[in-house]
Structures are given as structure tokens and as C-alpha cells.
Amino acid sequence: MLRGIISRRAWAGAALLLLGTSAANAEPDRVAKQGQISVVTYNVAGLPEGLSNVTPTRNLPVIGELLNKFDVALVQEDFAYPELLRQNLRLPYKSAAFVRGNQLHFGDGLSLFSKLPLADVKRAAWSTCHGIIDSYQDCLTPKGFAHSRLELAPGVLVDVYDVHLDAGPGAGDRKARALQVDQLVEAIEKTSAGRALVLGGDFNLTSAELPAFKKRMAALGITDACDEARCAQPWRIDRVLLRGNPAVSLKTKTWRLAAGFRDGSGRALSDHEPVVVTVGWATK
């Protein structure tokens, strides 16, 4: 009889131990990971001296220092002086600087920097552009988009896109941008199907083009952070857009223009303002 009682007690203890172990192992799956990141998109006007509207050789080291305070930085027009932009930039994950060598152009000008782990950056040039000696000379260098993958936490991944569309208000510019948006949508559908993503950059879209663009993005489940935050300057051409998925949600918490991007005389460091979006994320 005593042996039977001991046996039953032993089995009960073992069962409780197994249940406790299973519960402990399952707990991380039941507790959603969450956090927030600051994402800045900034056209740094890094054209060669004399072509830029500012003084990049003086301003880019200052810009690099200021970018350190953000979690993710999506940069456009990092053209002629990539080493100066990186001179004071201490974010641990960086896309490689463009090496011009004997090439006549300055690359796509797209650079990604991050405090969080960032996968290798893949690039695609636009298949269509407009303007060689006029219309903002967009065809003089292979602009396009850059794509990477960001690790918000162990096992929590989102795709990141840095984009620079053609500039200019003319009919040829608008036609080129429409085709570039087609190319971007096709790439997102192919590369990031079902994935959460952050999409930012200099879109150069006029107010007349915005409705059609937002409709294309909405069809992909992508929302404009400016719209989500009801920002005060919805006309800005520098934008950040987001998409969550069943595994991780992405929500706009704040939208703002970054302060402090001025030189000692109070002049802007670029002919663009840095747009900053605070993104809240959580696993589901």
C-alpha cells in the first residue's frame, strides 16, 4: 500500500514538473515583445561643391554626427563625399561607401545606417529616368532604391527600403516617377511579400501625384506615417511609410522635423529637412 502511495506521488510530482517545464518554455511565446525605434529620412545634398545648393564638404561631417541620435537613418544624395558623411558617424551598422574609381557617376546616393543589426544592402537602379542636361539631370547617376532587413529584436525582422525618385515638375519627370513607382511596387511584391516593412526616402511627388501614389501603397497594405500622425506638413516630399504583418505590428507614434540640423550661422545643412518618425512595434 505504501509503495502504491509513493508511486502515485512520484507520478504526480513528475507530471507537475513536466507541466511547469512546458509552461516555462511556452512563456516567451505568450509575452509579446515590443519597443519603438526612431527612423529619419534625410536628403543630405551631397552633390559636388558648386553643384550642391549648400556646402557639403563642410556640412556632411556635422550631419554624420547628428545622425548618431537616431536608431535608423535613411539617407539620399550621399554622392560625392561619402567619407565625410561617415567621418563622425558612429552607428554600428552602415552600408558601404560608394567607391567611384573610374566611373563617371556617383552611384545611387542611397545609404543606410542603424543602431540595430542590418543585413547586407541590395540595390536596384531605376529602369527609367528623365533628364540629362535639363530636368534636374536625374539620368546622370543611377538613382533607384536600396533594400535591407532590420532586426528589431532576436527573431523580429522587418524589411527596409530607401528610395529616391526623379525630381522635377515637368510631364517627363512625372511620367518617369510613375514608372519608378511601378518598379518599386513590383519589387516589394516580389521581395517583401507578406513581410513587415519600413519605406522611406525622397519621393519628389507633387500634390497632384500623391493620391495615386497612396492608393498604390494602400493596395500593398502600406500606410503613410504623416497621415497616421496627422502631420502638419503633408506636402513634404520626404516621407516614411509602414506596413505590419500578422507577426509584428508597426504603428506611427510621432512625426516631426528634426531640430538642430543647422550650421553655426543658423543655415540649414541641406536643402531638405530631416523627417523623423517614431515607430512603435510589437510582436503578436
**What pLDDT does 187 receive?**
98
Over residues 95-122, the mean pLDDT reads: 90
CATH number of the domain that 98 lies in?
Answer: 3.60.10.10
**What pLDDT does 140 receive?**
81
Confidence of residue 25 (pLDDT cuts 50, 70, 90): very low
Confidence of residue 2 (pLDDT cuts 50, 70, 90): very low
Same domain, 105 and 24: no
Same domain, 46 and 78: yes
Full residue range of the structural domain in which residue 207 is found: 33-283
- pLDDT above 60 (res 4): no
Contact in structure between 161 and 151 (CB atoms under 8 Å): no
For the chain, what is the domain count?
2
**What pLDDT does 26 receive?**
38
Contact in structure between 253 and 272 (CB atoms under 8 Å): no
pLDDT in tens, 234-248: 999 999 999 999 999
Residue among 247, 231, 255 nearest 197 (CA): 247
Same domain, 52 and 85: yes
Same domain, 25 and 42: no
Over residues 124-140, the mean pLDDT reads: 78
- pLDDT above 80 (res 131): no
- pLDDT above 80 (res 284): yes
Least trusted range by pLDDT, from 19-23, 117-121, 165-169, 174-178: 19-23
Higher pLDDT, 103 or 247: 247
Confidence of residue 32 (pLDDT cuts 50, 70, 90): low
State percent of the chain over pLDDT 90.
78
Contact in structure between 240 and 273 (CB atoms under 8 Å): no
**What pLDDT does 242 receive?**
98
Higher pLDDT, 99 or 108: 108
In this structure, what C-alpha cell is assigned to residue 100? 567611384
Same domain, 9 and 43: no
At position 75, the amino acid (one-letter code) is V
Cα of 166 vs its chain's centroid, Å: 18
State percent of the chain over pLDDT 70.
86
pLDDT in tens, 151-189: 999 999 999 999 999 999 999 999 999 999 999 999 999
| pTM exceeds cut of 0.85 | yes
Confidence of residue 18 (pLDDT cuts 50, 70, 90): very low
Same domain, 91 and 58: yes
Task: List all residues 6 or more positions away from 241 whose beta carbon is below 8 Å from its beta carbon.
Answer: 198, 199, 200, 217, 222, 223, 224, 225
Mean pLDDT of the chain: 89
Same domain, 128 and 27: no
Same domain, 169 and 272: yes
Task: Using alpha carbons, list the distances in angstroms from residue 179 to 108, 186, 245.
Answer: 17, 11, 27
**What pLDDT does 24 receive?**
38
**What pLDDT does 42 receive?**
98
Same domain, 90 and 158: yes
Over residues 76-82, the mean pLDDT reads: 96
Residue among 146, 109, 147, 160 nearest 270 (CA): 109
Same domain, 72 and 14: no
Same domain, 195 and 235: yes
Same domain, 18 and 155: no
CA atoms within 13 A on the CB side of 153: 13
